[in-house]
Amino acid sequence: MSPPLVEVSAISRTYAMRSGMFGRAAAVHAVDGVSLTIARGQTLGLVGESGSGKSTTGRIVLGLEPPDSGEVRFDGKPMAAPGTTAWRAQRARMQMIFQDPLGALDRRLPVAAQIREPLDIHDIGTPAVREERVRELLRAVELTPAHGARYPGALSGGQRQRIVLARALATKPDFLVCDEPVSALDVSIQAQVVNLLCDLQAQLSLTLLFISHDLRVVRQISNVVAVMYLGRIVEIGSADDLFARPEHPYTQALVSASPAPGRRSAGRIVLSGDPPNPAARPAGCAFHPRCPSAIARCKSEVPALETVGGDRQVACHLVTGAATRDAA
């Protein structure tokens, strides 16, 4: 078995945040000891609510910002120091897609020129080869050269996201980080882009880190799903199994909160309390103030991510400590 393409070990990232103009700086643990591996050609879905650290994790994995501690290894090698030749070569092999395609595109340039830009930056091929590659990329995302001559403002939301995707694929990357790539799109267009992403992944054997708050879309595209809460992974497992049998109380609430046609809200788990504030992280298990089944131990002791059978890992005293469960 080949080694995983992406190995993330115990990365952490802390920001200093000031509350108000004269407030004291507080440390915000955006990401706290996250470890992940993504096998070649596979998709890892990262879900969680706002402030859970999923986007920061994506940025660190891509080397857009350094972790305070921990390490990211890509294709067996640690990330090169930013600005070096090795770093540039590595960056060409990994790309990112954001939620807002209009923000990611330059409104004053025809989109074909923007798809071409990575080829110019990384000095790939002759000008003629680059032109041909742009046409090929437009075809790959199911657009025509006529679309390439337009400006972003003259394209629809779905078409813009295809352009962003084409640009990300220009350097033939092995690894794509997609941060909420379809959240801003209407349902029917969202399905087009999700299908396209699945097809391209299969054709180009891409490895994906797919970040989203939408459980349905994540399940559709992912092999493995990790659930984050306040900077930590609370549960990780294969996509179908995780959503069918969530173990962590937070995952259970998330799955139950996802509305489904044909299911009336009877039996829904409605969590009390507000989404957590990353600057005031509760002691012990960060989820305990909202957890319907929290016990005394949850308030003091941070649960570690432990394997509970198969490929499922859960960070919850109630799930991992069977003895504790009996006592409760």
Partner 1 sequence: MKPLVSIEDLRVAFGGVPVLRGVDIALQKGEAVGLVGESGSGKSVTWLAALGLLPRHAQVSGSVRLDGRQILGAPANELDHVRGGRIAMIFQDPASALNPVLTIRRQLCEALALHRDLQGNAVKAEARRLLDLVGIPDAGRRLEAYPHEFSGGQVQRIMIAMALAGNPDLLIADEPTTALDATIQAQILELLSTVRRELGMAMVLISHDLGVVAENCDRVAVMYAGRIVEQAPSNQLFADPVHPYAQGLIGALPPLDGPRRRLTAIPGTVPDPAHMPGGCAFAPRCALVADACGLAAPTLAPIADDRSVACVQAEASRRAVLGIAAE
Residues that bind partner 1 (CB under 8 A): 49-50, 156, 158-159, 186-192, 194-195, 198, 213, 215-217, 219-220, 240, 243-244, 253-265, 268-272, 274-275, 290
What stretch of H or E contains 73?
Answer: strand 69-74
The token pair at 73 is 């290894």
CA 131 from centre of chain? 31
The CB-of-240 to partner 1 minimum distance in angstroms stands at: 7
If the CB atoms of residues 169 and 255 are measured against partner 1, the closer one turns out to be: 255
If the CB atoms of residues 83 and 273 are measured against partner 1, the closer one turns out to be: 273
If the CB atoms of residues 269 and 304 are measured against partner 1, the closer one turns out to be: 269
Selection from 317, 319, 313, 316 nearest residue 35 by Cα: 313
User: Beta strand pairing status for 43-47 and 207-211?
Assistant: parallel
What stretch of H or E contains 12?
Answer: strand 6-18
User: What secondary structure letter does DSSP report for 69?
Assistant: E
Helix (H, G, I), strand (E, B) or coil at 311: coil
The CB-of-212 to partner 1 minimum distance in angstroms stands at: 11
The CB-of-38 to partner 1 minimum distance in angstroms stands at: 19
The CB-of-262 to partner 1 minimum distance in angstroms stands at: 5
Which segments within 173-314 are labelled E, that is strand?
175-179, 207-211, 224-229, 232-238, 306-309, 312-314
The CB-of-275 to partner 1 minimum distance in angstroms stands at: 5
**Cβ neighbours for 46, distance < 8 A, ≥ 6 positions apart:** 54, 57, 58, 209, 210, 211, 212, 218, 225, 226, 228
If the CB atoms of residues 146 and 187 are measured against partner 1, the closer one turns out to be: 187
If the CB atoms of residues 55 and 95 are measured against partner 1, the closer one turns out to be: 55
The CB-of-76 to partner 1 minimum distance in angstroms stands at: 31
If the CB atoms of residues 148 and 249 are measured against partner 1, the closer one turns out to be: 249
Question: CB–CB of 204/235 below 8 Å?
Answer: no
